[in-house]
């Protein structure tokens, strides 16, 4: 998959946070395509490619908030803070 730039990741993060239905739609579409894949009699490679692209899009959209936070130098709110401060 083509690596998304920090700007694109930020846009996907906003999309995922403000419109979670988009991620749900992509996940359902991916599941539907995976279910149909064993029965793809013609153009199996196209069906496999569609599944791969949908999988990568779901991974990008679902992981974009954490990636955007990393690009901005902030810890992700979904990741526990593992830093230890001694004082």
What tens digit of pLDDT does each residue of 29-79 get? 999 999 999 998 888 999 999 999 999 999 999 999 888 888 776 655 554
Structural domain contains residue 59: yes
Integer angstrom CA distances of residue 61 from 17, 34, 45, 46: 10, 18, 24, 22
- DSSP annotation string for 42-80: S-HHHHHHHHHHHHHHHHHHHHHHHHHHHHTT---TTS-
Residue 28 DSSP SS3: helix
What total of structural domains would you count in the chain?
1
Which domain does 24 fall in, by range? 6-67
Angle (deg, nearest 10), helices 44-71 and 20-36: 150
Handedness of CA 36, 37, 39, 41 (dihedral sign): positive
45 within a domain of the structure (yes/no): yes
Per-residue pLDDT band for 24 (boundaries 50, 70, 90) equals very high
Q: pTM for the whole thing?
A: 0.73
Query: Is residue 1 in a domain?
Result: no
Q: Is residue 11 part of a domain?
A: yes
Q: Is 35 within the bounds of a domain?
A: yes
Residue 37 covered by a domain: yes
Is 79 inside a domain boundary? no
76 found inside a domain:
no
């Amino acid at each position: 998959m083509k690596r998304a730039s920090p700007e694109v990741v930020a846009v996907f993060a906003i999309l995922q946070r403000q419109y979670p239905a988009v991620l749900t739609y992509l996940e359902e579409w991916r599941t539907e395509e995976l279910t149909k894949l064993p029965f793809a009699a013609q153009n199996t490679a196209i069906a496999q490619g569609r599944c791969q692209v949908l999988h990568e899009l779901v991974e990008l959209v679902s992981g974009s908030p954490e990636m955007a936070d990393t690009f901005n130098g902030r810890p992700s709110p979904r990741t526990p803070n593992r830093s230890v401060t001694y004082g």
